[in-house]
Structure 1
Amino acid sequence: MNIKVIGVGKLKEKYLKDGIAEYAKRMSKFGKFDIIEVPDEKAPEQLSDAQMQQVMQKEGERILGKIKDREYVFALAIKGKERSSEELAAEISKLALQGDSDITFIIGGSLGLHPDVLARADAQISFGRFTLPHQLMRLVLSEQIYRAFMINAHSPYHK
């Protein structure tokens, strides 16, 4: 199985990099796990609606350029469907059984995801209504993907 996480912006904090690297190492026994960073669009602090849309569009084009046609795509979005760890594990297992072995998760930048990215997604997933820094979200998502694989492997890790 090939799992890819596409995130906007460069990960800066060492502790986040270290945590993600640990989960990537653990994931290697289940398949390939990649984190793809696309540049965030520089923008002034105060943006008009038009400027916000322009920033999201440019970031969205960069994201879409990293997705292949055959990939099953989960977009992380506040309005997405909340899932338990067990539900995500079951969904990943079902995708694998259907032959969808290339799964991509997308984390947008500080303004969110452009509608074109959401339209490309096969599913939208939410980690709740609270806001997390998108860099921290990469670590949280990496752990949850690893947890899903451990659930599917009937490992005691999940307990």
Structure 2
Amino acid sequence: MKITLITVGKLKEKYWKQAVDEYVKRLGAYTKIELIEVQDEKDTDNMSDKDIEIAKHTEAERILSKIKDDSYVYTLEIAGKQLDSVELSQHIENNMNTGKSHLTFIIGGSNGLHQTVSARSNYKLSFSKMTFPHQMMKVILLEQLYRSFRIMKGQAYHK
């Protein structure tokens, strides 16, 4: 099993990097994990809708170029399906049991995902109707992946 995380933008703050490193280390006991960061487009407060769409399209091209053809793709989207931790674990385990050996999770940039990335998605996943900074979402996703593997293995996890 291999899991790839594709995220838009780089982690800059030390505390986010430390949290990501910790969960990558923990996940290493269960799966191979690859983190890919693609460059984000500069965002300004006075961007027009057309400028935002162009930025999202440019980021989408970068994201799509990193997805392997055989990968099962989860996109994190506000309008996606919300699962609890056990349901996410079961979804991942079901993919593993049906021969899907490469899962890719995608976190978009500050303007969200372009429709072409959403169209490539096999599963649209939502963690909340609220919007979170993508740096924080990366940590939350990694923690939930770690929790998912703990659940699959019947190991203790905090409820």
Q: Aligned residue for 1:29?
A: 29
Q: Aligned residue for 2:127?
A: 127
User: Which stretches of structure 1, 4 residues or more, deviate above 6 A after TM superposition?
Assistant: none
Residue 69 (structure 1) aligned with residue 74 (structure 2): no
Q: Aligned residue for 2:114?
A: 114
The TM-score, its normalising length taken from structure 1, stands at: 0.97
The TM-score, its normalising length taken from structure 2, stands at: 0.97
Contact 1:80 1:124 in 2 (8 A): yes
Q: Aligned residue for 2:42?
A: 42
SS at match of 2:128: coil
In structure 1, the gaps of 5 or more residues are none
Look up the equivalent residue of 2:93 and give its one-letter code. Answer: S
Separation of aligned partners in 2, 1:121 and 1:158: 30
Q: How many residues align?
A: 159
1:101-139 per-residue CA deviation (whole Å, 9 max, x = no partner) reads 100000000000000000000010001111110111000
SS at match of 2:77: strand
Look up the equivalent residue of 1:103 and give its one-letter code. Answer: L
Q: Aligned residue for 1:146?
A: 146
SS at match of 2:157: helix
Shift of 1:44: 3.0
In structure 2, the gaps of 5 or more residues are none
Shift of 1:47: 1.1
| Mapping 1:77-92, distance limit 5 Å | 77-92=77-92
Q: Aligned residue for 1:96?
A: 96
Look up the equivalent residue of 1:142 and give its one-letter code. Answer: L
